Amino acid sequence: MATRSEHLAAAGLTEEEVRGVLDALATVVEPVRLAFLWRPTLTDVADDMALETAANGRADVLVTLNRRDFQPAIDLFDVKVLSPAEALARLRRKS
């Protein structure tokens, strides 16, 4: 889904860049149990699942093309919401 043409265009990234990010993430991710503790918080059920995963996993950052819909999460869960391009730039600065 992350490599759909409309997502690549919106993020301003190539498929190769997205796959590179996904490969890097695969080396460091940890499974997070969904427990339906925080729902409903957002207007979209799929967004709520992503938010709950971030909250239960104690994430510092949530990466999405849909930043506006995650705005309530910023205050409630103290999580930064970044676009894929912003997240990639942040990763590049750290390496």
> Tens of pLDDT along 14-64?
999 999 988 998 998 888 887 777 677 888 888 888 888 888 888 889 988
Separation CA 24–CA 77 (nearest Å): 25
Residue carrying the six token digits 């957002």: 42
Encoded tokens for 32: 């997070």
Give the pLDDT of residue 51.
Answer: 87
Give the pLDDT of residue 31.
Answer: 87
| Confidence band for 76, pLDDT divided at 50, 70 and 90 | confident
Give the pLDDT of residue 16.
Answer: 94
Average pLDDT over residues 10-16: 88
CB distance 62 to 79 below 8 Å: yes
Residue 80 phi, psi dihedral angles, 5° rounding: -80, 140
CB distance 61 to 67 below 8 Å: no
Separation CA 16–CA 24 (nearest Å): 12
CB distance 51 to 77 below 8 Å: yes
Average pLDDT over residues 64-79: 82
Encoded tokens for 81: 């919401």
